[in-house]
A = this chain, B = another copy of it.
């Protein structure tokens, strides 16, 4: 299990949402309230967009709470769209190549959750990755494989459908191996303009996922909050766990749904995994 945060809006320093407050993401690395594990100390990562289309990524195997470099970067890098992720490893090694967010070209991808009994179905899953993408897999995390499956199924064209197919494939292959509850978690992915977020689990008891109320409303509710005054009207945070307990700020994404926030669209829809028929045959 892990904790994550995604921001989109006018540029802010990453520290404005990573540190401080009563339940900041770095606080959650030491004692999360809603996570499956209270401690998320097995590395972390940040990915941010700036001057170039390709995001920068900083990943470390140290706990976020005592990484001096994270503190420096968060205090000096301002960005209109960034992902941050703190990890509680389950099974795969604590190493940078297993830390989220994962990047492919201009896309980022991160996940709180797991593929159940990953070792059992890993080989079949890897076989379904497009061979031209295969060498780009650099670690051994279940999430990285899921990312490359989604890329194989067209993430760059239609992220929600591609992730529905990737998760659907995980469920189909798991069924063949009698693996119960194959997928659990919340996912975020972005092309640097829009953010797609998914909340889903095969057993329909998904990890929590929240997004912020629109900024104009927040300003009316909390006129004294400096950050709300500074960010743009369209600014949003999507988080695995609320940062603090302020009433009216956080809204839960419903079970088995995906949503998107972007410059011209915001919506929430049902998430319906379905394996691409052809891929299962190839993987056999």
Contacts and interface: CB of A to CB of B under 8 A. Distances in A.
Contacts of A272: none
B135 A119 contact: yes
Interface stretch (A62-70, A204-212, A234-242, A254-262): A62-70
A13 B54 CA distance: 14
Interface string A66-78: 1011001101111
Interface string A95-133: 111000000000000000000000110110011000100
Interface in A33-80: 38-39, 41-42, 48, 50-52, 55-63, 65-66, 68-69, 72-73, 75-78
A95 to B, nearest CB: 4
Interface residues of A, number: 49
Contact of A93 (B30, B38, B76, B138): B138
Contacts of A63: 41-42, 63
A140 interface: yes
A89 interface: yes
A31 interface: yes
A29 to B, nearest CB: 9
A81 interface: no
A134 interface: yes
A42 B30 CA distance: 11
B73 A56 contact: yes
A193 B123 CA distance: 33
18 contacts: A38-B38, A41-B41, A42-B63, A50-B76, A51-B78, A52-B76, A56-B73, A56-B75, A58-B69, A60-B69, A68-B93, A69-B69, A76-B77, A123-B134, A126-B126, A127-B127, A138-B140, A139-B140
Interface of A: 13, 30-31, 38-39, 41-42, 48, 50-52, 55-63, 65-66, 68-69, 72-73, 75-78, 89, 93-97, 119-120, 122-123, 126-127, 131, 134-135, 137-140
